[in-house]
Amino acid sequence: MLYGGLGIIIYCVCESLFERLRVRFVIIYYKLLWRGVDWAVKRENVAVFTKYLLDFMYFFGMIVTVSLPWSVRIILNFFDYESFDGHYREIVVIYFVLGVLAIMILGELRKMFRTVLNNDCFVRENVVSLQRMGTYSFFIAVVCLLRTFLYMTAAMLVLVLVFVIAGLFSKVLAFVFDKAVDYKLENDLTI
């Protein structure tokens, strides 16, 4: 009963938090429309919204990842998944590793976004961040493939494909950023 009560409390708190965020977003949107300002065109508003969204996802992801041992047990009991009865530890370990890798990707995105907010995007730190994000994406794809030995779903195969593509995209973008940094440094030296 403790797990059930804790799950209900967590659900209510999260639902209340999301409802408050949604209400605030709608209020801000209508205030901007009332003033005749189209918020989607304003880069500053989009940048601030994205920054807060990344921060929220980063810290909420930490909470979710740390609470996996309890939340997985609650979910397995609540939905009565009989096929996962003997695999509790494997499920927690797999999703913990996936959560840590996702948090690491979000951390690199937050680092990159700070350079965007400082109007200095083409720096070596972003190249390193993109390389790391590509590597983390490949690790996520590998862990998802390993999970298919435990139980196979079509959604997991789609996730593998998505993270392989994301890893490739990050690696290619890192090479592009590396060249852009070289050109920027060369231009700075000529001026």
pLDDT in tens, 20-70: 555 555 555 555 555 555 544 566 778 888 889 999 999 999 999 999 999
Spatial separation of the C-alpha atoms in residues 177 and 132, rounded to whole Å: 14
pLDDT value at residue 156? 87
> What is the pTM for the complete model shown?
0.74
**Integer angstrom CA distances of residue 167 from 6, 34, 129, 143, 170:** 37, 42, 12, 14, 5
Number of H helices, E strands in the chain: 6, 0
Q: Which conformational region is residue 15 in: left (phi greater than 0), alpha (psi within -120 to 50 degrees), or beta?
A: alpha
pLDDT value at residue 28? 57
Q: Which conformational region is residue 123 in: left (phi greater than 0), alpha (psi within -120 to 50 degrees), or beta?
A: beta
Spatial separation of the C-alpha atoms in residues 87 and 91, rounded to whole Å: 6
Q: Which residues of the chain have pLDDT under 70?
A: 1-43, 81-85, 191
User: Which residue carries 């939340």 as its tokens?
Assistant: 71
pLDDT value at residue 3? 46
